[in-house]
A and B are shown apart, each in its own frame.
Chain A
Amino acid sequence: MKEKVISLCEKNFTIDCIKANCRVDGRRISEARKASISLGPNWGFAEVRYDRTHAVASTTVEAITPTPDRGSEGSISISVELSPTASEPAARASLFRNTGSFIETRNCIESFVRDSRSVDTEALCVLAGVKVWSVRVDVHIINDDGNCMDACMLAVMASLMHARRPDVTVTGKEVRIHAMDEREPVPLPVHHVPLSATFGLFGGGRPFDPDTVVLDPVKTEELASNGSVSFAFNSQGEVCGVYKGGGLPLHIRSFEVCSKLAATHAVGLTAILKAALADASAEHPLSTVRPMLVDAEPVAMLAKKESEREKLAAPTSTWNATPVLDTAPPDIDAMETITRARAVPKNDLIDGVFEHENEDDQNEDMKDVGPEEENKMIVEKLIRSDSESSTEGLEAAIVPKKQRKERKTRRR
């Protein structure tokens, strides 16, 4: 795909703007666009917007028989597709599958997600040699306004964290997979959340020329740039991956500047992601894009959600509304008024989310609510206590299958 052209005048203007530290959209060179995430009505459906760059990801989980050489591991695969709606060259090229830059994006994301072990493939094993979970994330870039890499990465991680797989009972050699409405679906084993920051590179290219790096380039900047570098960090400050696939040779000092910026950027993005997960229940109709449903929701549930939506004072983002400029976390007070009625005690979270809670309270809670509301409440508890504790709370909530199972057996 010949992603051409930017006129010389635009290119020179863009570069001059960058030198003056006031980019074409008014940002500084180390400032990124605000990300907004909405998690869909279906489990594992995430929509990410960086102003006009728009990517949509969906996770599907399937139980398969593993290959003989990797019998006790599940698999995760990612595919990135450039939708013909993304840009004019993309529409022209939509007949041809082979677009070099998106092969790079996909390889990059897979390397950041898979090779840094963010999803524990060993925990995706149901019964060694017999059944494993195969997780597949499909990303579609709906609109390309620069920096698809970061938007896709965020969409993938949001989708993975929001996804649920069916619960499973293993008795001896027998595996029984429960339907999504039969038993509460279980989240995926995500250990840490790598999020990427991409920088556009500008400079002369000759041996001793200085170079400039620009965080989160817009499309015009991307076309005017001489290459890009992506860093993936998680909120603990671990570097999960670096990809610089050629382009302008970069001075090592600029490289270090980029990595520091990327680390702080990842922390900010993780906060936005957590806030979005808190807003996890279906408030976004998204009727135009309907991916493969992970679980089919009965109409009664949807109606219930409709009535609930009216109760909540917090602003909701809908498909046709003006783009959300800032994701403020949902109005916690409003939520609390609803949940206080159920008399959920406020607890300090330590590892193992539910061990210290009052059993009676729990049972009372679980009786009259469905799985959706249950999850919402759990996540709300986490958000409230999360302000005190660190990210352990969030990750602890995702991992403990055991505790949930125990709870269910108690329920019976």
Chain B
Amino acid sequence: MAPPPKRGRGGGARGLEYISLDGLRVDGRLHTEVRKIRCSLGTLSRADGSAYYEQGNTRVLAAVYGPREPTGRDFEHDKAIVKCEFSTAMFASTARRRTWKGDRKSTAAAIVVQRLFEGVILLAEYPRCQIDIYVQVLQNDGGTLVAAVNAACLALINAGVAMSDYVVACSVGYVDNTFVADPNSLESGSDRPELTLAITPHSGKICSCQLVSKLADDASFESAMQYATAGAKQIFQVLEYEVKKYSLGLLDSRGMVAL
């Protein structure tokens, strides 16, 4: 996607107002509101676990294969290894991309997702195994890393991989001198601070945190973290409900067959 034209802080070069006088954003949300989430588990029949996740206009598909035999030479004798691949479809952004795998942003995102789940999956339960996570971005409207983390979490739950907790991610942007939760592509410009946070919701611990660009002081960093944590908890409620619904639906269709 062509980067948005450079704008100074607080209002756009073309007079684009990110937050209107009523306090509503470009898409009508409040500054603490996260985009609408729709997701489903078990979408791909051939994968061990899969999930489809939509957050506003960002759409992501995640698939998990494993735990299974390691495909390459590297394996750990006492725990599983996690491999992740992050790719963006060529039709995902407004301008058709030339590469869909292997560029810097994708590898960076893949490393973040891999390290994140290495900390949450109970690797010691699967010695000498490999867990592969594949994330495919189908439509990019900002917050792809957030969507990738959430989708991968659902896919891992679908695959029955042992995890210590959910992992829920949320991002916070900064437009017109206010923090906004879950910025879309319009609101997340190249020179604006953006905080992406992934937490384990039950214990409130921080799994991953990335702050891009600088914030004025420590207090604003803390308030950005609070926004992100609140947003993540909102997202967690949706994910938990979805997992519960899926589980009950599965049990229902099985007629409570002995598991």
Q: Which A positions have Cβ atoms within 8 angstroms of B?
A: 2, 69, 100, 103-104, 107, 111, 115-117, 194, 205-208, 226-227, 229, 234, 237-252, 255-256, 259-260, 263
Contact = CB atoms under 8 A, between A and B. Distances in A.
16 contacts: A2-B74, A111-B210, A194-B214, A239-B217, A241-B212, A242-B210, A243-B211, A244-B208, A245-B111, A245-B112, A246-B111, A246-B208, A251-B203, A252-B206, A252-B225, A255-B225
Interface string B30-57: 0000000000000000000000000000
B245 interface: no
A80 to B, nearest CB: 13
Nearest to B209: A244
A226 B119 CA distance: 8
A117 B229 CA distance: 26
B128 to A, nearest CB: 15
Contact of A239 (B200, B210, B214): B214
A163 B206 CA distance: 38
A263 B112 contact: no
B116 interface: yes
B202 interface: yes
Contacts of B74: 2
B222 A256 contact: yes
A115 B213 contact: yes
A-B CB proximity, top 6 nearest: A246-B115, A246-B116, A249-B205, A242-B211, A116-B214, A240-B214
B110 to A, nearest CB: 9
B237 interface: no
B contacts with A: majority SS: mixed
B117 A246 contact: yes
A241 B211 contact: yes
B204 A206 contact: no
B107 interface: yes
A205 B119 contact: yes
A194 B211 CA distance: 13
Nearest to A260: B218
Given A227-B115, A247-B118, 13 more contacts: A69-B3, A107-B108, A115-B213, A206-B164, A239-B214, A239-B217, A245-B111, A245-B116, A248-B119, A249-B120, A251-B205, A252-B204, A255-B209
A59 B3 CA distance: 27
B217 A238 contact: yes
A259 B3 CA distance: 31
Contact of B212 (A111, A234, A249, A255): A111
A88 B3 CA distance: 42
B91 interface: no
Given A207-B164, A252-B205, A100 B111 contact: yes
Contacts of A100: 111
Contact of B200 (A207, A238, A241, A255): A207
Contact of B218 (A237, A241, A249): A237
B258 interface: no
Contact of A207 (B3, B116, B203): B203
B173 to A, nearest CB: 13
A115 B211 CA distance: 10
B257 interface: no
Nearest to A234: B214
Nearest to B113: A246
Contacts of B202: 207
A115 B188 CA distance: 13
Nearest to A240: B214
B33 to A, nearest CB: 23
A311 B221 CA distance: 49
Contacts of A246: 111-119, 207-208
Interface in B205-256: 205-218, 221-222, 225, 229
B120 A244 contact: no
B225 to A, nearest CB: 7
Contacts of A260: 218
A211 to B, nearest CB: 8
A241 B112 CA distance: 16
A104 B205 contact: no
A247 B210 CA distance: 13
Interface string B182-209: 0000000011000100011011111111
B200 to A, nearest CB: 5
A260 B217 CA distance: 11
Contacts of A206: 164
B165 interface: yes
A263 to B, nearest CB: 7
A103 B107 contact: yes
B119 A243 contact: no
Contacts of B119: 205, 226-227, 246-249
Interface centre among B104, B116, B214 (most CB of A within 10 A): B214
B2 interface: yes
